[in-house]
Amino acid sequence: MSDAGNTKSEKRAYHHGDLRAALIETGMRLIEFSDADRLSLREVSREVGVSAAAVYRHFPDKDAFLAALAEEGLDRLGAAQRQAAAEAGYGAQGFNASGRTYVRFALKHPALFKMIMSHTPQIDHFAADATSVSSPMRWLRSSVAALAPEGTSPEQLRSAALRAWSKVHGLTMLILDGQIAADDGVIEAVIDGRDIWPETKAQSITQ
């Protein structure tokens, strides 16, 4: 089939951004089975059923495509965190639930999560302008602000948010890197701030 034929069939099949959405959805599916280095735009175009040229009309290069996948992944993570918090009744319980969801999302989608971390623009996540940060970070910032005592300074809010992010992200990477086992009990204990050893043993450790 000629390129002209491809173009005509693609125009018939996709309208008003449908192709871009289809490419992203296909990329999200493929990234579950292959790391970002192995994913190719040609493979994505073949899976969708369009020419490679059609992909480049939406994404100038692979980095732009991966950045779009990272944005989509972050949106899905943020949505999962908000749902978990709602189901837990918001407040401190909801905040902890959203943290556990962060870890479990990464463990369920390790290739996607690692790609997100390497293809998300480096910005000040705690800048005053929240519109430029990701969905999970907006959720983190708003949750910390809602739970903080009245009169908490912006610097204190920033520090609290960074501590919370460091805890869940550090735990996530330790598990993904194989340093500790993926154990639900450990995840809950760390995120909820509970000790995982018996009280008698804890007393002997602190003495």
Are residues 147 and 83 located together in one domain of the fold? yes
Are residues 34 and 93 located together in one domain of the fold? no
Are residues 109 and 36 located together in one domain of the fold? no
Residue 52, both tokens: 């490679």
Predicted model pTM = 0.84
**Contact in structure between 65 and 44 (CB atoms under 8 Å):** yes
Q: What percent of the chain has pLDDT over 70?
A: 82
Any domain includes 87: yes
Number of domains in the chain: 2
3-state secondary structure of 152: coil
What's the domain range around 180? 66-196
Any domain includes 202: no
85-136 residue pLDDT tens: 999 999 999 999 999 999 999 999 999 999 999 988 777 777 656 566 788 9
CATH number at residue 30: 1.10.10
**128 or 191, which is more confident:** 191
Percent helix / strand / coil, the chain, rounded to 5: 70, 0, 30
| Residue 5 pLDDT > 50 | no
165-188 residue pLDDT tens: 999 999 999 999 999 999 999 999
Are residues 148 and 101 located together in one domain of the fold? yes
Question: From the CB of residue 174, how many other CB atoms can be counted at a distance below 10 Å?
Answer: 16
Are residues 79 and 180 located together in one domain of the fold? yes
